Amino acid sequence: MMIKLVVFYEKPFCAANAKQKQILRQSGCTLIERNLLEHGLDADTLRSFMEGKKVADWFNPAAPAIKNGEIFPEILDEGSAMELLMSNPILIRRPLMVIGTEKLCGFDADRVSEVLERYVEPMPKINCLEKGCLQMRAE
């Protein structure tokens, strides 16, 4: 049996994240859910989710400070952007996902499918004798 394990950083009670998790579960994924607002990631780790993306794409366009015009992601450099994301995680584009060795920012269904195809991991083998679940019968 193969398992598809996804670490899924979300904003709790976000309707879009709930739909994304449902899609992942329906495609046979096992999710490890993490609260993105209390992520505990350092700046380098958070940055690793953003590889290949423009700075503006690191941000959640629906975040209040962006919608209200208080923050303009398209004019930020990487350093300022990362400071804002670390100090105010609601700004981070979500979800952040870890699938195998890949880290993804945002839910691009095609990209998620492609990564899942490559990173299906075998179910860990459990030796029943080691776990003590088989009784050896005395003859």
pLDDT tens for the chain, 139 residues long, are: 567 899 999 999 999 999 999 999 998 899 999 999 998 899 999 999 999 999 999 999 999 999 999 999 999 999 999 999 999 999 999 999 999 889 999 999 999 999 988 876 555 554 444 444 444 434 4
> Which residues touch 100 (CB under 8 Å, ≥6 apart)?
115, 118, 119, 121
Contact 107, 20 (CB under 8 A): yes
Q: What are the structural domains, with CATH classification, of the chain?
A: 2-131 (3.40.30.10)
pTM reported for the whole predicted model: 0.82
Evaluate the CA torsion angle 42, 90, 84, 24 in order and state its sign. Answer: positive
Q: Token pair 């193969």 is at which residue? A: 2
Distance CA 75, CA 55 (A): 9
Active site residues: 14
